Structure formats: C-alpha cells, structure tokens
Amino acid sequence: MADLKVIYEDNHIIVVQKPVNIPSQGDKTGDIDMLTIIKQYLKEKYGKNGNVYLGLVHRLDRPVGGVMVFAKTSKAAGRLSDQIRTKQFEKRYLAIVNGKMEADNGILEDYLVKNQKSNMSRVVNENTKNSKYAKLEYKVLKYDKDLNLSVLEILLDTGRHHQIRVQLSSRNHSIYGDQKYGGRGHGKQIALWAYSLKIIHPITKKEMIFEAIPEKIGSWKILEGIM
C-alpha cells in the first residue's frame, strides 16, 4: 500500500489521489480497485481485523486520475452524499481537448442516455426515455495553435456517466487520448484529470478544498503559468 497517495485523513474521511487506470470500485474485470486498496491500507495502518467500513461517495472513470474522498463512517457517507444532491460538493477537472473552443468560457447543457451494453453515453433529445440532464461549466486556460489543442478547466455541475467526455465530443472537442469518444492520440492516456475537490466536512462543517495538480495530463505536460 506504499503507493497510495493520501492527501488528507481523519476519523471521518480519507482523501486520496486515484492513479489512472484503476477502477473506483470492483468491476467485472476483477482488477484491483480503490475501495480494496484503501480498505487494506486502513487495516494495516490501524491493525484492524475483519471487514473495514469504507463508503464510496463518488466515482472517477477508470482511465481518469485525480482527487477522491471516501467516508470512513456511515454518518460521513450519508452527509457527503447529501452534499452531492444539494450541489455543495464541487468537482473541478483539467482536460486537453481537440480544437479551439468557440468561447473562452461557457456552459454546456445536454440530455444524456447511457447504453448499458456498450458502456457509453450519448447526447439525445430532452424528451428521450431515460435521458438525464447534464451540465458543466468550462474555462479555456490555454490554446496551442500549432497542436490545435485547448487546455480547459471544468466545473462539473451534474455527475452523469462519462459526462465530460460525451458533452465535449458531441461538439467536436473530444478529449485527447479518449479512445471511446473519438479523441486524437490513439493509444495515449486520456487527458482528463480531477484536480480539485471542495466539500463541507461532514462532522466539523468546515469548508475544505483538496487539490492534486499533475505534472502532465495524459501524455501532455502542463505548461507553466496556466493555473
């Protein structure tokens, strides 16, 4: 468990940096996942026998790395889940996308439907059965004319399946390295990273912000001065 990067920990929550290509929770692949890794870390650190409680409050897509918070008690899990419902749980991402955005900042709003068989989502008409409203805000941090790539900061307002990837790709701004949604950079790591998380501590009620700024997103180094 030496590779686990713990950003913050107390009796109620643990905040970690999820590596890329590790599932947030167990899936059909049977690969090691964050819940299992952190439970093992807690068992070893505190010498606990048997099962360790750890609440999964939110998820990151398997190829995406960045900041995640887990609850160490059921009370903390419930209160953090309430924050997600009441929009007090703020998630910000960095992404490198194809092309130049039409505006330096903006809001993207769509309705999405998830295909269970393909594990992909798509933008649909508002009246489509099982569609869910999706909203995000973005700000352009940098545009590289030679590469025709833009670095975006994204504030996620809703947490739909593959939301950032789908909303951007539907506007021909697919994320670099995103194999599922038509991104350039075949075989490269997806250039999407959850860099900032703001929560209200479930017990102390103190506002807390946790950040993990990567040296690079995917295969692209973050140039100095954009943050």
Residues 183 and 164: beta-carbon distance below 8 Å: no
Pair of tokens at residue 133: 């409203």
> What is the C-alpha separation between 192 and 63, in angstroms, rounded?
8
Closest CA relative to residue 152, chosen from 167, 162, 134, 131: 167
Give residue for tokens 């899936």. Answer: 27
Q: What is the pLDDT of residue 227?
A: 34
CATH of domain 5-221: 3.30.2350.10
| Average confidence (pLDDT) per 10 residues, the chain, 227 residues | 85 96 88 94 91 94 94 97 94 94 97 94 95 97 90 94 96 93 84 95 98 71 45
Q: What is the pLDDT of residue 187?
A: 76
Closest CA relative to residue 159, chosen from 133, 179, 195: 133
Residues 68 and 91: beta-carbon distance below 8 Å: no
Q: What is the pLDDT of residue 218?
A: 56
Q: What is the pLDDT of residue 3?
A: 79
> What is the C-alpha separation between 150 and 155, in angstroms, rounded?
16
Q: Which residues contact 53 (CB under 8 A, 6 or more apart)?
A: 72, 73, 74
